[in-house]
Structure 1
Amino acid sequence: MKPLASISLDLDNKWAYLKAHGDPQWESYPTYFPMIVPRVLDILEQRKQKITFFVVGQDAEHEINRAPLKAIADAGHEIANHSYNHEPWLHLYGPKQLQEEFDKSEAAIENATGQVPIGFRGPGFSLSDEVLRTLMRRGYQYDGTSFPTFLGPVARAYYFWSSGLSKDQKEDRKELFGRFTDGFKTLAPYRFSWRGRNIVEMPVTTMPIFRLPIHGSYLLFLGQYSTWLAKFYFRFALKLCKLTSVEPHFLLHPLDFMGVEDDEDMVFFPTMDEPSSKKIKLITECIDILKREFNVVTMRDHVAQARRQELPASTISVVPEGARADMA
């Protein structure tokens, strides 16, 4: 029997990338969903593959995005929560801000897709004890924010260098993509517990031992220089996963399926100066490689299987109710 693996796609929209880049055009909430969602769904249907889509609540409120989001749910994919405002400084939110964030995102996502999310991922891999407490209060089954790599600060430095962000904006984003010490975190699922509640943490898989990224965007970055190298790198990472008994979770983004001919406004993002055909070919080949070696499921099903095991537990700090209200 093949070991288990899962795939998720963070459905970050055009406006979210522009906002992160410091481009004021984001305020009109431009979208590429009507173009990219059918493309991704067709690729997945060809492979009879179900995955998890992390949806931003703000997108679910815009009429132009409703049909694409409903199509995802109708195709049988899992819908999870990726926040309402897609702000990578979610770890700075207080309890009241988080309550509003989740109230709005959950309502919008359920209204647009008919699904009630049981999974969450923080934008920019932002997470805090307060976010985890909020997730457990609200009955979430898993969080998929952990990104165990040493390269977070390097990615952040490149992002700051290539962006038009102000000093204050950079301060808000100073923990974007995580810290160097995140590279020491486990790749295996584990539980956070608090006041009798618990939630499963499902890390985004990085290369065992070396903790180098293996998500779609990184493979495309390597593919700029050599598609052979990118596929060899991915196969090597999956081999290490098998040798170390890691069940990989493979992360994708919409831009993994888009090229310069689709949206020239996004050329500031790595690999967006390349044609979509080249990028799609590499990504789909990597999905096929993963499927040959593993039984690939949604995160919901991956977590359900993990919950049947004795998972290591990690406690979070206990803060009395209302003690951090001044931060809201």
Structure 2
Amino acid sequence: MKPVASVSLDLDNLWAYLKTHGDPAWERRPSFLPSAVPRLLDVFGERGLTTTVFVVGADAERDDGAEAVAKIVEAGHEVANHSFGHEPWLHRYSPDELETEVARAEQAITAAGAPTPTGFRGPGYSVTPQLLDVLRRRGYRYDASVLPTWIGPLARAYHNRTAGSAHDAADLFGGFGKVKAPNSAYRWGSTGLVELPVTTMPLLRVPIHGAYLLQLHQISPRLARGYFRTALRLCRARTVSPSLLLHPTDVLTAAEAPGMEFFPGMAMPGSEKVALLGWVLSLLRRHFDVVGTGEHVARVSGSVLRERDPVACG
């Protein structure tokens, strides 16, 4: 049998990117969901993949977001919680604010026709002991917020250089210490929650998800494909079951996401993006049994997982 791997999609909308970037145009709540969701579902469907889609509650409340949730559920994908307001500084929220944030997103997701979510991912890979406690009390099975890499400060520097925001981004995306986090599933101590981290390249601990591959593809398509092949070889060699993260921007053009010229890979034609994503998913499926994150957690939960103190997450 092939080892398990998972694919998940963070359904971040155009307004959420602009808000984090400090662009006041976000207040008009521009959306690219009507373009992105059918295209992504087609890519998944063509390869017979069932994934997990992390949905933002504020989008599930709007007509195009509710329609997207309905299509996702109809296609057989898991819907998980990606917060209500998609603010990548949940680590600054009080316990009461966290409770409200998680609960409002749940309510919006279920009102749009999806089952009550049992998985959560914080925007900007934001997770704290207080958030884990909220998830435990609300009956969640897993969190998928950790990105075990050393590049957080570099991503923050890029964000600060390009953003027009007055937000204090002093701790956005975490510090170099994230590299110490495990790259495979583990449990958060007595909470019982499983953490399924977003996989980074074993040993080097550099990200392997969409935006990074697209940036490399702009330099050299051969480089991008060699990079991803190397990541999968190392995952197999190190017995890491990869959990691959995707975003709508992995299939959208700059014209479909106005104001996002700053984002990696937005200069690429949409057809090239779709072709690269299709190749990535086909290669992943060749070597692994690819499922959604909820199923991934279900399969590894029966094995002995290392435990980590929730304090270690921040």
Instruction: Name the TM-score class by shorter chain.
Output: over 0.9
1:325 aligned partner: none
SS of residue paired to 2:274? helix
C-alpha separation between the residues in 2 aligned to 1:146 and 1:181? 12
* Offset of residue 279 of structure 1: 1.4
C-alpha separation between the residues in 2 aligned to 1:206 and 1:114? 30
Give the partner amino acid of 1:183.
V
* Offset of residue 265 of structure 1: 2.6
Give the partner amino acid of 2:263.
F
1:77-96 to 2 correspondence within 5 Å? 77-96=77-96
Give the partner amino acid of 1:5.
A
2:188 aligned partner: 192
SS of residue paired to 1:8? strand
Could you give the per-residue CA deviations for residues 175-222 of structure 1, whole angstroms, max 9, x where no partner exists? 22221111121111110133xx41000010001011011011111110
1:32-43 to 2 correspondence within 5 Å? 32-43=32-43
C-alpha separation between the residues in 2 aligned to 1:285 and 1:48? 14
C-alpha separation between the residues in 2 aligned to 1:136 and 1:316? 12
List runs of 5+ in structure 2 lacking aligned partners: none
SS of residue paired to 1:45? helix
C-alpha separation between the residues in 1 aligned to 2:109 and 2:185? 26
Give the partner amino acid of 1:141.
R
C-alpha separation between the residues in 2 aligned to 1:99 and 1:228? 46
2:61 is aligned with 1:61? yes
SS of residue paired to 1:31? coil
Report if aligned partners of 2:55, 2:82 keep a CA contact under 8 Å in 1.
Answer: yes
1:180 aligned partner: 176
SS of residue paired to 1:6? strand
1:225 aligned partner: 219
Bigger Cα Rg: 1
1:245 aligned partner: 239
Give the partner amino acid of 1:270.
P
List runs of 5+ in structure 1 lacking aligned partners: 318-328
* Offset of residue 159 of structure 1: 1.1
Aligned length: 311
* Offset of residue 131 of structure 1: 0.4
* Offset of residue 315 of structure 1: 2.8
C-alpha separation between the residues in 2 aligned to 1:16 and 1:227? 29
1:320 aligned partner: none
Residue of structure 2 aligned with 1:204, choices 174, 198, 201: 198
Report if aligned partners of 1:4, 1:294 keep a CA contact under 8 Å in 2.
Answer: yes
* Offset of residue 174 of structure 1: 2.2
TM-score, normalisation: structure 1: 0.93
Report if aligned partners of 2:79, 2:114 keep a CA contact under 8 Å in 1.
Answer: no
1:299 aligned partner: 293
1:312 aligned partner: 306
Report if aligned partners of 1:192, 1:201 keep a CA contact under 8 Å in 2.
Answer: yes
Q: Which runs of 4+ in 1 moved over 6 A?
A: none
